[in-house]
Amino acid sequence: MNVPEDLRYSSDHEWAQLDGSRARVGITDYAQDALGDVVFVELPEVGSPIEAGASVGEVESTKSVSDIYAPLSGTVVQVNDALGESPELLNDDPYGDGWIMVVEVADESQFDALLDPVAYRALTED
């Protein structure tokens, strides 16, 4: 399982990468593997406010439908429109081309409260 060292993780299997006051967000390699082949992604709307821990969209796979949870509170400023045409990007490159959204973060201390790679690995090994 791939757990990049430069990201933070939620216990719901989303990742976040902070750049200034904005965070790029996606689902983890662990999550995409558990889902199986992704066939549809429902993205949040640009401009919508989101709360950490709240559902912001859905991922539909050949196995199930799962919620996407916001790891941070803020405002959605960008979504990955490529997922509409190519939802399999979540499987193929969850930390690169398969990102889901960019959030203008309301409280950057929430980022520090997310799991570091060591803690996330421990969570997924239990």
| CATH code of the domain in which 47 resides | 2.40.50.100
Residue 57 inside a domain? The answer is: yes
User: Which residue segment(s) compose the domain that 72 sits in?
Assistant: 8-121
Residue 81 inside a domain? The answer is: yes
Residue 1 inside a domain? The answer is: no
pLDDT tens for each residue of 5-64: 999 999 999 999 999 999 999 999 999 999 999 999 999 999 999 999 999 999 999 989
Q: How many domains does the chain have?
A: 1
pLDDT of residue 1: 84
- Angstrom distance (rounded) from CA 81 to CA 99: 10
- Angstrom distance (rounded) from CA 96 to CA 89: 9
Residue 101 inside a domain? The answer is: yes
**Residue 58 three-state SS:** strand
pLDDT of residue 58: 96
**Residue 95 three-state SS:** coil
Residue 2 inside a domain? The answer is: no
Residue 126 inside a domain? The answer is: no
- Write b or e for each residue in 36-50: b if 16 or more Cβ atoms lie within 10 A of its Cβ, otherwise e: eebeebbbbeeeeeb
pLDDT tens for each residue of 55-96: 999 999 998 999 999 999 999 999 999 999 999 999 999 999
